[in-house]
Amino acid sequence: MINLYTWATPNGRKISIMLEELGLDYAVSPVDLGKREQFSAHFNAISPNNKIPAIVDSGPDGDPVVIFESGAILTYLAEKYGQFLAPQGQARYSAFEWLHWQTSGLGPMLGQLGFFAVRSEEKAPLAIARFTEEADRLLTVMEQQLSNQAYLAGEDYSIADIACYPWALAATSYLKDVLKASLATKPSLQRWLTLVGERPAVKRGMAIPKL
Ligand SMILES: N[C@@H](CCC(=O)N[C@@H](CS)C(=O)NCC(=O)O)C(=O)O
């Protein structure tokens, strides 16, 4: 059985959504980031970058398969179960484009915006302006892509949508005040958020971990 190491954050929820979409039976090991459990020796042996999510699966030869980084985990699960990733061609590589776009761009930029604009007590106007501008640019790229097709990698729901959904939702909830002007011009993003958010597996995945 897969053991998911996670916490109540967008990066963790990408994987619980994927596991719910696949209908797998899995165990959840909460890693309390507030208590700095990500730095425990046990978790460090699984995730040497000390960040959630990570999974431990049983490999075909009985040895454990241990994976950290949400993009690697989503790719592993999609390939293992043959779902949410086209087997070849443009759709497969479009999914990888948007998956990497999320882990290298949307996630880190919205994460920094959240830190400077919401969580930090000290307000640094230059940092807030810089990350608001970059978040707006990234959401505009997403809007453009979704104005031409149902999902990020084409007409089919894929791991690219699963990766982007919890972060785009954070942009429209936790970060909605700072991104108000940007969100007002993103009808396709709103359409996609509703489409993805209505999936029962997405609803279940967003409720993990149950604390
Ligand atoms: N690129 C990583 C990012 C993971 C990440 O930033 N995880 C955050 C929670 S959303 C974390 O574990 N933070 C703990 C820390 O920074 O100490 C991925 O996609 O898996």
Q: Is 52 in the pocket of ligand 1 (CB under 6 A)?
A: yes
> Nearest C-alpha to atom 12 of ligand 1 is from which residue?
51
CA of 148 to the centre of ligand 1 (A): 31
Q: Do both 72 and 165 map to the same domain?
A: no
- pLDDT (tens digit per residue) in 108-124: 999 999 999 999 999 99
Number of separate domains in the chain? 2
Residue 171 lies in a domain: yes
Nearest residue to 165 via CA among 203, 197, 131, 205: 197
Q: How confident is the model at residue 206 (pLDDT cuts 50, 70, 90)?
A: very high
**Cα 89 to middle of ligand 1, angstroms:** 30
Please determine, for residue 156, whether its predicted confidence score (pLDDT) is greater than 90.
yes
With a 6 Å cutoff on the Cβ, whether 11 touches ligand 1 is yes
Domain membership of residue 37 as a residue range: 2-83+201-206
Asked whether residue 211 is domain-assigned, the answer is: no
Q: What is the pLDDT of residue 211?
A: 87
Q: Is the pLDDT at 23 greater than 90, yes or no?
A: yes
CATH number of the domain to which 136 belongs: 1.20.1050.10
114/74 same-domain check: no
> Measuring CA to CA, which residue among 166, 151, 145 is closest to residue 84?
151
Pocket flag, ligand 1, residue 102 (CB < 6 Å): no
In whole angstroms, give the CA distance from residue 113 to residue 94.
27
Check the CA dihedral 132-73-35-174 and report its sign. Answer: positive
- Do 68 and 102 belong to one domain? no
Q: What is the pLDDT of residue 152?
A: 98
pLDDT tens per residue, range 161-174: 999 999 999 999 99
Kindly report the average pLDDT of the chain as a whole number: 98
* Model confidence pLDDT, tens digit, residues 58-108: 999 989 999 999 999 999 999 999 999 999 999 999 999 999 999 999 999
Query: Looking at the domain assignment, is residue 12 inside a domain?
Result: yes
For residues 193 and 96, membership in a common domain is answered with yes
Closest C-alpha residue for ligand 1 atom 14: 51
**Are 94 and 70 contained in the same domain?**
no
Please tell me the pTM assigned to this model. Answer: 0.98
For residues 144 and 158, membership in a common domain is answered with yes
Instruction: Tell me: do 14 and 35 sit in the same domain.
Output: yes
| Same domain for 65 and 109 | no
Residue 182: strand pairing partners = none
Residues 94 and 180 in one domain: yes
Average pLDDT score over residue span 9-26: 98
Atom of ligand 1 nearest to the CA of 10: 10
Question: Which pLDDT score, from 0 to 100, does residue 21 have?
Answer: 98
Contact predicate 16/40, CB 8 Å: no
Residue at token pair 């086209």: 86
Are 136 and 120 contained in the same domain? yes
Say if ligand 1 is within 6 A of residue 47 CB.
no
Say yes or no: 57 and 116 in one domain.
no
If you measure from the C-alpha of residue 71 to the centroid of ligand 1, how many angstroms do you get, rounded to a whole number?
Answer: 12
For residues 72 and 157, membership in a common domain is answered with no
Give the C-alpha separation, 198 to 18, whole Å: 15
Residue 70 Cα to ligand 1 middle (Å):
9
Does any ligand 1 atom lie closer than 6 A to the CB of residue 103? Answer: yes
CATH of the domain at 11: 3.40.30.10
